[in-house]
């Protein structure tokens, strides 16, 4: 298991909580995704755990990758790094036990992709969900072209992708993106309650049913991330991507030129 420094894992009864601890915005990188994947694989080997809550402390659930302050220096290094990250992400989708994401704040970009790796999302009106890739001059990643489309349908997914609009927790609940909508200070408790309800069921029946419901999902995500990576790789070299990252950092509308 990778060194655990950015997450905290705690069990109570048949439920295990994985808490992301990179406040306030919980930006992700390969190390964080690897830690979550390792934790889930360990949980799969624990017969005492029947359901998982994926939560975060700080202001956001996960505000995505911090393009402004990090990133490989060359296109080749960027592609290699992103490819490694996506391989770790696919490991998350291969876990065997139900996951409930407690989304109390922003889930943006790849952070949104992480939230979509869960079976269910519990959220609040103050939360924000955004696949903001096109505003960066970029292509969606983290398997969102599969997971988001399967969750809310092609038209709603396209709306989120094409506009890069931020959707509230209430929007997410209305479109079926979130399963439970509660007050912000109740999100974690509601996620734990749902996990506990799931954990009351037969563990063998639960694992069997989930395997059927998610059959092939990890393979579809793996194929999607391969394609997403190819698109992201050439877009990363464009002037539009540089302008999108700069405009986002400066909190202004980008002046895209299509090159």
For residue 1, pLDDT over 60 is answered with no
- When pLDDT is cut at 50, 70 and 90, the band that residue 13 belongs to is very high
| CA distances (Å), origin 47, targets 15, 20, 41, 91, 129 | 11, 23, 12, 19, 33
Mean pLDDT across 38-45:
98
- Work out the mean pLDDT of the chain and round it to a whole number: 95
What are all long-range contacts of 170-179, with beta carbons under 8 Å and residues at least 24 apart?
Answer: 170/125, 171/129, 172/121, 172/123, 172/127, 172/129, 173/123, 176/151, 176/152, 177/121, 177/129, 177/148, 177/151, 177/152, 178/103, 178/120, 178/121, 178/122, 178/123, 178/127, 179/120, 179/121, 179/122
Q: What is the mean pLDDT of residues 9-18?
A: 98
Q: 91 Cβ partners below 8 Å, 6+ apart?
A: 37, 40, 41
Mean pLDDT confidence for 199-213:
98
Scanning the structure block, which residue is given the tokens 């922003």? 106
Task: Read off the pLDDT band of 76 (50, 70, 90).
Answer: confident
pLDDT reported for residue 151: 98
Mean pLDDT, range 206-217, rounded to an integer: 98
What's the pLDDT band for 67 if we cut at 50, 70, 90? low
Distances (CA, A) of 150 to 9, 144, 220: 29, 9, 11
Rounded Cα gap, residues 240 and 78, in angstroms? 17
- pTM, two decimals, is 0.94
Tell me what pLDDT residue 72 has: 45
Question: Does pLDDT of 235 surpass 70?
Answer: yes
- Tell me the average pLDDT across 45-68: 92
- In this prediction, residues 129-139 reach a mean pLDDT of 97
CATH homologous superfamily, domain 1-183+204-259 = 2-enoyl-CoA Hydratase; Chain A, domain 1 (3.90.226.10)
**Domain assignments of the chain as residue spans, ordered by start:** 1-183+204-259
Question: Does the pLDDT of residue 131 top 60, yes or no?
Answer: yes
């Amino acid at each position: 298991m990778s060194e655990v420094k950015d997450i905290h894992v705690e069990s109570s009864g048949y439920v295990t909580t994985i808490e992301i601890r990179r406040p306030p915005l919980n930006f992700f990188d390969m190390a964080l995704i690897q830690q979550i994947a390792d934790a889930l694989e360990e949980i799969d080997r624990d017969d005492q755990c029947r359901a998982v809550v994926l939560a975060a402390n700080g202001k956001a659930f996960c505000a995505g990758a911090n393009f402004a302050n990090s990133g490989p220096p060359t296109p080749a290094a960027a592609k290699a790094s992103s490819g490694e990250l996506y391989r770790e992400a696919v490991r998350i989708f291969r876990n065997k036990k139900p996951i409930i994401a407690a989304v109390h704040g922003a889930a943006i970009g790849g952070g949104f992709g992480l939230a979509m790796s869960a079976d269910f999302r519990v959220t609040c009106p103050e939360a924000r969900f955004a696949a903001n890739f096109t505003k960066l001059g970029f292509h969606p990643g983290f398997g969102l072209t599969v997971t988001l489309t399967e969750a809310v349908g092609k038209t709603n997914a396209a709306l989120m992708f094409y506009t890069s609009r931020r959707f509230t927790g209430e929007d997410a609940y209305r479109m079926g993106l979130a399963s439970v909508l509660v007050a912000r200070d109740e999100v974690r408790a509601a996620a734990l309650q749902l996990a506990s309800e799931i954990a009351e069921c037969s563990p063998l029946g639960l694992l069997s049913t989930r395997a059927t419901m998610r059959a092939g999902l990890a393979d579809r995500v793996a194929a999607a991330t391969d394609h997403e990576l190819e698109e992201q790789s050439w877009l990363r070299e464009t002037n539009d991507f540089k302008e999108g990252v700069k405009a986002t950092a400066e909190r202004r509308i980008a002046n895209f030129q299509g090159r």
